[in-house]
Amino acid sequence: MSSPGKAIILLSGGLDSTTVLAMALAQGYECLTLAVSYGQRHSVELQAAAALSQRMGAREHRQMHVDLAGIGGSALTDPQIDVPEAGGPGIPVTYVPARNTLMLSLALGWAEVAGARDIFIGVNAVDYSGYPDCRPEFIAAFAQLAALATRAGVEGGSLNIQTPLMQLSKAQIIRQGMSLGVDYSQTVSCYQADALGRACGRCDSCRLRSEGFAAAGVADPTRYA
Amino acid sequence: MSSPGKAIILLSGGLDSTTVLAMALAQGYECLTLAVSYGQRHSVELQAAAALSQRMGAREHRQMHVDLAGIGGSALTDPQIDVPEAGGPGIPVTYVPARNTLMLSLALGWAEVAGARDIFIGVNAVDYSGYPDCRPEFIAAFAQLAALATRAGVEGGSLNIQTPLMQLSKAQIIRQGMSLGVDYSQTVSCYQADALGRACGRCDSCRLRSEGFAAAGVADPTRYA
């Protein structure tokens, strides 16, 4: 079977995107991983992304920066806003305005230059935090935009936005990753992990993750502080 | 008449976006100007943007950075690629992959946090350089995305992408700006301006600009090297 070619994988170093990388590698894609620093409170997840990319066999890893902290408005980039310990109704304060739009745009630019026809992103519409830019209709709109925004879109060719986790529960994602040999102890999901990458165990992201391991019937390998 | 409210104005410091700022101010918008540094060869246009914003009466100016030079693939961000002196057929090498997608995404994030319902961008489909992300269909796709990507899009409300220059010739843009008192000697359009902001007079952007002044019957105030 011939290789499906190059793909850009948005890799945050968390559970979801690491599973996506494992899935793309298993399908034979030549994976170019992209971690985006956007003024996160901590950088352990960026270090985890670089380490996981190399260990799992991606061809290249890049880290790019966008200045979302300058915009503010999110508990994840603004130290003035506390990270809540339980999810409530509506869009939570951990929502980072335009984050997925920006990360997909950077992936789009790299895809165009590298000649990749696929972009993988680990968004999920089942066990997610209620962010508007994780919904299938958002991804469909971005795919439409990508087809118009690029050289490839004008000169022919196509660019696919792949979201293999979209309809999976957290437990299904974890089972998928385990079957592909993902070492989840090396992934960082916590919104406020400490400098060693240890999770708080209390934020919304920790809660979703730990419930996922329980539902999958797998011992939780997360390193807690 | 009540104010139409806050608007984000993408301001590069060039002729087009400066005219857009003048138009938005004339319509009574409270203007928040955004200059995006993306690894341009020179930074004089960023300095021009900050100075023009303040002088013309915008409420606030911000400069944000995205790492497009790390992606490469454009004569505007990669010193290995020469800036051509004449336009040819197809998409030119001065095209920066995903640039407008990224700049609009940053504007979208700021609009959401600042409570602005309008984003102005000086794209133009008449006298332009053949970039895919300057076309009306690209802007329409981004507006569609913006409606889905944001808190406002989920909770109600709207976000408009305004492109007042889209159907104007360069001469019409210049006449519009002159009637609003724009000082074009302070704008920088050249792809390879020198450290004093003086234009080369030879690149595609200089050519479009100088032909525009000629067609408008206005003396060209550009400072050439």
| ipTM of the modeled complex | 0.83
> Is residue B99 assigned to a domain?
yes
**Helix, strand, coil: what percent of chain A each, to 5?**
40, 10, 45
Whether the pLDDT of residue B76 is over 70: the answer is no
pLDDT of residue A58: 98
The model's confidence at residue B17, banded by pLDDT at 50, 70 and 90, is: very high
Per the structure, how many domains does chain A have?
1
- Mean pLDDT of all residues in chain B? 86
Query: Which of A105, A144, A161 is the best substitution to test chain B (most B C-beta atoms within 10 A)?
Result: A105
Residues 2-41 (B) with a CB less than 8 A from some CB of A: none
Whether the pLDDT of residue B224 is over 90: the answer is yes
* Domain membership of residue B105 as a residue range: 6-216
**CATH classification at residue B123:** 3.40.50.620
> Is residue B224 assigned to a domain?
no
The model's confidence at residue B142, banded by pLDDT at 50, 70 and 90, is: very high
Which of A76, A77, A149 shows the shortest CA–CA distance to A119?
Answer: A149
> Is residue A1 assigned to a domain?
no
The model's confidence at residue B212, banded by pLDDT at 50, 70 and 90, is: very high
Mean pLDDT of B71-84: 64
- pLDDT by residue (tens digit) across B143-162? 999 888 876 665 666 789 99
Interface membership of A109 toward B (CB under 8 Å): yes
CA distance A171 to B210: 62
Q: Measured between CA atoms, how close is B122 to chain A, in angstroms?
A: 16
What is the crossing angle of helices B44-56 and B15-26, to 10°? 20
Interface membership of B71 toward A (CB under 8 Å): yes
Residue A25, classed as helix, strand or coil, is: helix
> Is residue B122 assigned to a domain?
yes
Q: In sequence order, which ranges of chain B are alpha helices (DSSP H)? A: 15-26, 44-56, 99-114, 136-149, 151-155, 170-179, 204-216
Whether the pLDDT of residue B210 is over 80: the answer is yes
Query: Which of B94, B104, B121, B148 is the best substitution to test chain A (most A C-beta atoms within 10 A)?
Result: B148
pLDDT of residue A150: 75
The model's confidence at residue B180, banded by pLDDT at 50, 70 and 90, is: very high
CA distance B96 to B81: 12
CA distance B190 to A45: 40
- pLDDT by residue (tens digit) across B123-133? 988 755 667 88
> Is residue B223 assigned to a domain?
no
* Phi, psi (degrees; rounded to nearest 5) at B101: -60, -45
pLDDT of residue B84: 60
Q: Based on DSSP, count helices (H) and strands (E) in chain B, helices before strands.
A: 7, 5
Specify the pairing of strand B118-120 against strand B160-162: parallel
* Phi, psi (degrees; rounded to nearest 5) at A115: 80, 30
Number of CB atoms found within 10 A of residue B99's CB: 22
Interface membership of B62 toward A (CB under 8 Å): yes
pLDDT of residue B77: 65
CA B24 vs. chain centroid, Å, equals 13
CA distance B56 to B58: 6
What are the C-alpha distances in Å from B220 to residues A87, A143, B128, B202, B209? 59, 42, 19, 14, 9
Residue found under tokens 């992936």: A107
If one compares B47 and B205, the residue with the highest pLDDT of the two is B47
Whether the pLDDT of residue B64 is over 60: the answer is yes
> Is residue B69 assigned to a domain?
yes
Query: CB–CB of A19/A92 below 8 Å?
Result: no
Number of CB atoms found within 10 A of residue B158's CB: 11
pLDDT in tens, chain A (225 residues): 578 999 999 999 999 999 999 999 999 999 999 998 887 656 888 999 999 999 999 999 999 888 777 676 666 666 666 656 655 556 666 667 788 899 999 999 899 888 899 999 999 887 556 678 888 999 999 999 988 887 666 566 678 999 999 999 999 999 999 999 999 999 988 888 888 889 999 988 899 899 999 999 999 999 999
> Is residue A177 assigned to a domain?
yes
Q: Taking CB atoms and an 8 Å limit, are A113 and B97 in contact across chains?
A: yes
Residue B91: list chain A partners with CB under 8 A: 151, 154-155
Whether the pLDDT of residue B32 is over 90: the answer is yes
Query: CB–CB of B39/B70 below 8 Å?
Result: yes
> In terms of CA atoms, which chain A residue is nearest residue B64?
A67
Whether the pLDDT of residue B1 is over 70: the answer is no
Whether the pLDDT of residue B89 is over 60: the answer is no
Query: Which of B151, B158, B161 is the best substitution to test chain A (most A C-beta atoms within 10 A)?
Result: B151
> Is residue A106 assigned to a domain?
yes
Residue A148: list chain B partners with CB under 8 A: 132-133, 135, 137-138, 141
Look up residue B45 and give its two tokens. Answer: 């246009």
